[in-house]
Amino acid sequence: MTDSFTYLDAASAEPLHPAARDVLLAAAEQGYADPRRLHRPARNAGLLLSNAREVVAEALGVRRDEVLFTSSGTAAVQAGLLGLGSRGIGHSAVEHQAVIDAARWSQRSPVTELAVDREARVEVAAVRDAVAAGDVDVVAVQQANHEVGTVQPMDEVADATGPAALFIDACASMGRLPLPPVGDAIAGSARKWGGPGGVGVLVVRRSARWRWPFPGDEWSRTDQGFSNIPGALAAAAALQAVVAERDEVNARQHQLISLVRERVRAEVPDVDVAGPDEDRLPHLVTFSALYVDGEALVTALDRLGAGVASGSACTSDTREPSRVLAAMGALTHGNVRLSLTRDTTREDVERVLDALPGIVKDLRAEAGL
């Protein structure tokens, strides 16, 4: 593995899709102007942004006027959740840190953490109870977990939410899974599906009681000054391509991750493979090895030419123990997340799996175990 590098951290950022690369270069020549102006270059930029919105809407199966662009997935999460306004926010215990930070930032709203089971699946009864108690009028539940891949039962969550608003963080799943038919606002991140960084997508249903939560035109459903036209077009092109490829890529990745789960359990002693074997994102898996430091394991794999993630995947300091794993009751230290790109091969995965037992054994020996 030393003569080439195997990138297995697509859940942080998928390499730029070829479809996005071609569009990005072409759009940079035409999409530089501010689309809010009246001159010809601005009108051209506005047409390009409109085209990007149309492509995203079609790929996601939503209305064109329900699609907003933001400067990142985090910005989409913040605007989507806070724009629903609330007297109380309830979020699952395994939400991305961006959701938790946004909920806490809204100081006028008490925050309720909703319990999850051993597979990181939100307890639907906890959602129903929190809404019935009057403590929560906005519920935030991700479509699929960014660390262990668990797909949430969104139809059941929506039913339990009742009259409350439902915010869905789909940053880990948008493009990889069909968009849920439920939810008042849904956030996505282009870099997770092979679009460029610096582009988020926010879907706001026309029926939602939502308004822009930050300074500006609070009643507007526009992009609030978003001007990265080349980025939006490239993100749209990548999303369109990913959706078209989804069935084939998902099946191949699901099989490879099943192989990882099987071999890690069989070949690495004292290991905890987190999350469900099925009903999960197809491309990622997290496991924890007892008596092994996660950072040391990442460093050892990096020396061998494989890039993986460890620690809490959604905090500024990824060396912190995983909050998601702790909420599940799983082993938190010595954890590693492998997430496949669209081009990851079986040979890539098997090279890592072949090296892993020896690396873990050596690290435990260095620790005197």
Is residue 304 classed as helix, strand or coil in its secondary structure? coil
- The one-letter code for the residue type at 264 is V
Rounded CA separation 179/171 (Å): 11
Task: Count CA within 13 A, CB hemisphere, residue 246.
Answer: 17
Measured distance CA(311)–CA(233) in Å, rounded: 33
Q: What is the mean pLDDT of residues 188-212?
A: 96
Fold of 6-14+246-367: Aspartate Aminotransferase, domain 1 (3.90.1150)
What pLDDT does 30 receive? 87
Cite the residue boundaries of each domain of the chain with CATH code 3.40.640.10: 18-242
DSSP, res 309: E
How far apart, in Å, do the first and last CA atoms of the chain sit?
27
Model confidence band, residue 217 (pLDDT cutoffs 50, 70, 90): low
How much is the average pLDDT of 202-227?
Answer: 81
Res 220: pLDDT: 61
Amino acid 316: pLDDT: 46
**pLDDT value at 110 more than 90:** no
For the ranges 24-38, 247-261, 303-317, the lowest mean pLDDT is seen at: 303-317
**CA-CA distances (angstroms) from residue 247 to 96, 122, 134?**
26, 26, 41
Q: What is the 3-state secondary structure (H, E, C) of 173-233?
A: CECCECCCCCCCEEEEEHHHCCCCCCCEEEEECCCCCCCCCCCCCCCCCCCCCCCCHHHHH
Rg of the chain in Å (alpha carbons): 21
Please choose, from the candidates 7, 77, 12, the residue with its C-alpha nearest in 3D space to the C-alpha of residue 311.
12
Fold of 18-242: Aspartate Aminotransferase; domain 2 (3.40.640)
Inform me whether the pLDDT recorded for 153 exceeds 70: yes
Mean pLDDT of 259-270: 98
Mean pLDDT value across the chain: 93
Whole-number pLDDT of residue 221: 65
What is the mean predicted confidence (pLDDT) over 223-243?
91
CA distances from 40 to 30, 35, 46, 140, 209 (A): 11, 10, 10, 42, 35
**Chain centroid offset of residue 222 CA:** 23
Total length of the chain = 369
Q: What is the mean pLDDT of residues 182-190?
A: 98
**Is pLDDT of 222 > 80?**
no
Would you state the pLDDT for residue 22? 87
Query: Following DSSP, what letter does each residue of 130-186 receive, concatenated?
Result: HHHTTS-SEEE--SB-TTT-BBP-HHHHHHHHTTSEEEEE-TTTBTTBPPPS--SEE
Look at 94-103, 224-233, 235-244, 245-254 and tell me which has the smallest mean pLDDT.
224-233
Find all residues with CB under 8 Å of 120, minimum gap 6, and list them: 94, 145, 147, 148, 150, 274, 275, 324, 327, 328
For the cut 80, the answer to whether the pLDDT of residue 164 exceeds it is yes
Reply yes or no on whether the pLDDT at 1 is more than 50. Answer: no
Tell me, what amino acid is at 73? G
At residue 55 the predicted structure's pLDDT band, cuts being 50, 70 and 90, is: very high
Q: Residue 206's Cα: distance from chain center in Å?
A: 24
The answer to whether residue 369 scores a pLDDT higher than 90 is no
Confidence check: pLDDT of 109 > 90: no
| Percentage with pLDDT > 90 across the chain | 82
Q: Do 151 and 101 touch, CB atoms closer than 8 A? A: no
pLDDT average, residue stretch 292-304: 95
| pLDDT for position 85 | 83
> Which two three-digit tokens encode residue 62?
């939503």
Residue 96 has pLDDT above 90, yes or no: yes
Q: CA 286 to CA 275: how far, in whole Å?
A: 8
Whether the per-residue pLDDT at 353 is higher than 80: the answer is yes
The yes-or-no verdict on residue 123 having pLDDT over 90 is yes
Residues of the chain with CATH 3.90.1150.10: 6-14+246-367
Question: Residue 176's pLDDT is what?
Answer: 98
Using an 8 Å Cβ cutoff, are 175 and 239 in contact? yes
Full-model pTM: 0.94
239 with 59: CB under 8 angstroms? yes
Nearest to 301 by CA among 355, 369, 367, 365: 355
